[in-house]
Structure 1
Amino acid sequence: MLGPQLESSVTVGGRPIRNRLYRAPLLECAGNGPEAVETLIDELEPAAASGAGLIHQGATIVREAGGCAAPGMTRVADSGFVERLEELTEAVHAHGSAIAIQLEYGGLRSMEVWHAGYRRSNPGLEQLVVSRPPWILRSLDRVGFLDLNPRVMDTDEVEALAADFGRAAARAVEAGYDMIHLAGANMGIIQQFLSPFYNRREDEFGIDPEVGSGVRFLERVHEEIRDRAGDVPLITKVPSEAAAPAPLQPRLSDADAIRTAARLDSIGYDGVVPVRCSVFWDMSIVRGAFPARAWRDPTLKEGYREAFGSRTRATAVAAGNWLQSRRYDREPGWNADLARRVRSRVDIPVFLEGGLRERAELDSYLGDAADLVGMGRPFYAEPRLPARLLDGPADTRAVCEDCNNCAVAQAAGASGNCRTPSVLEEAGALRKRGAYDRTGNERDDGDPTE
């Protein structure tokens, strides 16, 4: 019997989604300035206009200060600003798509830890941490690559942070967002609570021995969101840290991730996104080639110096980036086997992303490893990629080459877009041939390939 196809509808937490293709969360680098909402519309509406069933707005910060993992991230702590985001949700809804907002707080991944220029501008900003930082981060602090000024949260402060996630979700629902997506991986504060590499707490927010993770924080966030935002569909990334180098222990195993997903299903989460990552924010997140073009771009050199403190340190970071690229080769659907195992244990939709590029791959995972399938980086080169995937044959493939030139440039404060001429040339040729045209109510939102 033929399983669900990309065009098949699906329901998440009672919310119908017109098809199973979603734009995964990315850094839109919109900030909170006067042009922020228009920037978000420019970034996200094309995916809806070209047919994606669900659009994710990338990581947004739940507090007014601290917690940003990269330059240009948007904050959703101010009610007045979030009200303006109704323009974005209305633009997406006009095309029949749903929109989710991903809520985040950085903790030890925050700019106040790693970005030299930001630290100089905010010298008194402490880092809220789950426990004392691991030895390897303390070592990097001693040699000057990081600047640790941590404050371990007491139980009341953890409760306050969970409440901030709830407040942010309530504001988002009022602005018309259809779904809340928690940034539970990529070394954000939620992963730090889940991970035994970071979490050595002795209160209720420590590691649950029955699950193998610090799942209690996600339970409290769930309670706060339900109390403040009602029955809005709620999903979260669920990390396995199996991609980390073997000496880095203890860490979340695949089995821990599966047990965590099952617990989240039992307490009322509406979907999970299983991902394999490391214990650091490294190339386990964006597997593929070393982004040589981005590191050599003369227009970005000053941004790297500002971020890492000097040209010498920026060169050292680039060398580490190269070594990581040797370890984390790209593979199609690198989260698929973990997602498949999770899906066999839960009764809620499983979202799959990571290395998906071809229409045939997407269809093959549906009904097997996942209920919805998504892409992220390919949208930088092809904002209207869904038009080709939904209307094309099985061998239709995104033009993205997994070169990562889009990703590393964001450390220098650059906006998220494709920087590889061969990829942009191919996307431009497709546009000229009408590959991104669809009938229906859509606007001309422009395209970086022109």
Structure 2
Amino acid sequence: MTGSTAAALETPLRVGDVALPNRLYRAPLLECAGNGPGAVDALVDALEPAAAAGAGLVCQGATIVRPEGGCAAPGMTRVHDPDFVADLERLTEAVHAHGGRIAIQLEHGGLRSMETWHHGHRDANPGLEQLAVSEPPLPLRVLDRAGFLSYDPRVLSTDEVYDLAADFGRSAAYAADAGYDLIHLAGANMGIVQQFLSPFYNRRDDEFGDGVRFLELVREEIRDRAGDVPVTTKVPAETEAPPFVRRRLTGADCVRLCQRLEAAGYDALVPVSGSVFWDMSVIRGEFPARSWRDDRFRGGYAAAFGSRWRAALVALANWVESLRYGFEPAWNADLCGRVRERVDVPVFCEGGVRDRGTIDDLLGTACDAVGMARPFYAEPRLPARLLGAAGDGATGNDAAGDGAIDVPPAAVACENCNNCVVPQASGESGICRTPSVLRRVGERRRAGEYDRDADRSAADP
């Protein structure tokens, strides 16, 4: 934000007409709650602890705006049904009771949907087509012919793009009525919004050949249907795409996109670097060997990828990616800082933020609010440890050489091993499964480090 100065993590922040009590947020994660009878209870169980522990904003993970198709992973929640979304008021009230604010992330997977990559899902739903911005790019068609992916795309007509934007607007209106404070669009991670923005995917010759036009239309639909609810979106830079990908969004492109989205009425922006493919540029860290070897999940992997040998090839590709996309602290900080110099709406930074010292360094220079995602799988009440803590900038080290990382009090327990993520492909929930992390969390819980003297006041800051 041009001309602004550094702010403490505990300082309130205004996004549109909504005041966040502080600048720490739980970034969107897959809750794997679905839409069944226990879905709302599962979402309350997953999200309320972050608010109770003091997070200024809690972001519900990606939800799908249509009744079928579009899910990028098993267990995603759909928000096309106003009756179901109305019941989510129990979740928003639970967050508000602790003085927090809550956002819902809206998405459609497009070419990244399960009907592309999940063999069991395709077999169970043979009539589903992928929604496509344009014909799939050549590298994806090659993977289709090799049998690793399966494309039967429906390239959206101009009228159908308008219909899709209206679906985003309707779901946003249902959410606003249910008490959600912000609408968060899944503008990255290779979902359909990124597919509109990306020159790798978008080869259209109508008005939506300029991918920003789709996001402008979605913003108009939300304003018309949901009123003044603030809207934010992730904005991709495809800087991590393999060298053979010539058409991609550069960092400079991301900055320009953010400027145009601010002009279109977006109330906050989340710049993120990544690829044009669904790979480990999104979840940088270690190769999740423990999860790939776990016998409990092998049957699920085989069902998802078509066979055990195909699952083994996916694991091999995962290992190769881990060599390229190792963990990098605060990997989006530079990009966020570049955007913040050019826009006057709040910039949110997430990706590889793991300790209070880094948070303090980022605020007011690279961004206006800081988010974490995977660490919440291990520590649902993580904010209680970070808010009010002294920033020491430390990220932990294996001083004893026994594989256990000695983490200072102002840092997360997460070891970036990604063993929480891979089992989601087989339909498992996103939870921490790493013994050394779970031991550390247990010790902190027994020491009362996740306790707060009292919930924050629910009064508007």
Counterpart residue number, 1:434? 448
1:18 aligns with 2:21: yes
Stretches of structure 2 lacking an aligned partner (at least 5 in a row): 393-409, 457-461
1:79 aligns with 2:82: yes
Shift of 1:286: 0.3
Query: What's the CA shift string for 1:211-256, capped at 9, x where partnerless?
Result: xxx1110000000000000110100000000011111120101111
* Distance in 1, Cα, partners of 2:70 & 2:5: 45
- Please, which of 257, 267, 282 is the counterpart of residue 279 of structure 2? 282
Query: What's the CA shift string for 1:141-185, capped at 9, x where partnerless?
Result: 111111110110000000000000000000000000000000000
Shift of 1:323: 0.4
* Distance in 2, Cα, partners of 1:102 & 1:94: 21
Shift of 1:2: 7.5
1:359 aligns with 2:356: yes
Counterpart residue number, 1:332? 329
1:421 aligns with 2:424: no
- Please, which of 359, 381, 406 is the counterpart of residue 420 of structure 2? 406
- The 5-angstrom pairing of residues 149-228 of structure 1 reads 149-207=152-210, 214-228=211-225
SS in 1 for 2:272: strand
1:233 aligns with 2:230: yes
> Is the CA contact (8 Å cut-off) linking 2:54 and 2:455 kept in structure 1?
no
Counterpart residue number, 1:448? none
SS in 2 for 1:205: helix
Stretches of structure 1 lacking an aligned partner (at least 5 in a row): 208-213, 443-450
* Distance in 1, Cα, partners of 2:249 & 2:6: 32
- Please, which of 7, 18, 38 is the counterpart of residue 10 of structure 2? 7
Counterpart residue number, 1:377? 374
* Distance in 2, Cα, partners of 1:401 & 1:245: 26
- The amino acid that maps onto 1:387 is A
* Distance in 2, Cα, partners of 1:267 & 1:241: 22
- The amino acid that maps onto 2:340 is R
Counterpart residue number, 1:139? 142
Single out whichever of 1-10 and 279-288 deviates more from structure 2: 1-10
SS in 1 for 2:254: helix
- CA RMSD in angstroms comes to 1.0
Count of matched residue pairs: 436
SS in 2 for 1:299: helix
- Please, which of 366, 370, 388 is the counterpart of residue 385 of structure 2? 388
Query: What's the CA shift string for 1:282-318, capped at 9, x where partnerless?
Result: 1000000000001011100011001000000000000
* Distance in 1, Cα, partners of 2:140 & 2:241: 15
Counterpart residue number, 2:267? 270
Shift of 1:97: 0.1
- The 5-angstrom pairing of residues 34-183 of structure 1 reads 34-183=37-186
What TM-score, normalized by structure 2, do the two folds share?
0.94
* Distance in 2, Cα, partners of 1:140 & 1:312: 16
Counterpart residue number, 2:294? 297
Identify if the C-alpha distance between structure 1 residues 83 and 2 changes in structure 2 by more than 3 Å, giving closer, same or farther.
closer
* Distance in 2, Cα, partners of 1:177 & 1:22: 15
SS in 1 for 2:207: coil
Identify if the C-alpha distance between structure 1 residues 136 and 80 changes in structure 2 by more than 3 Å, giving closer, same or farther.
same
- The amino acid that maps onto 2:358 is E
Runs of 4+ with >6 A deviation: none
- The amino acid that maps onto 1:37 is V
* Distance in 1, Cα, partners of 2:200 & 2:31: 29
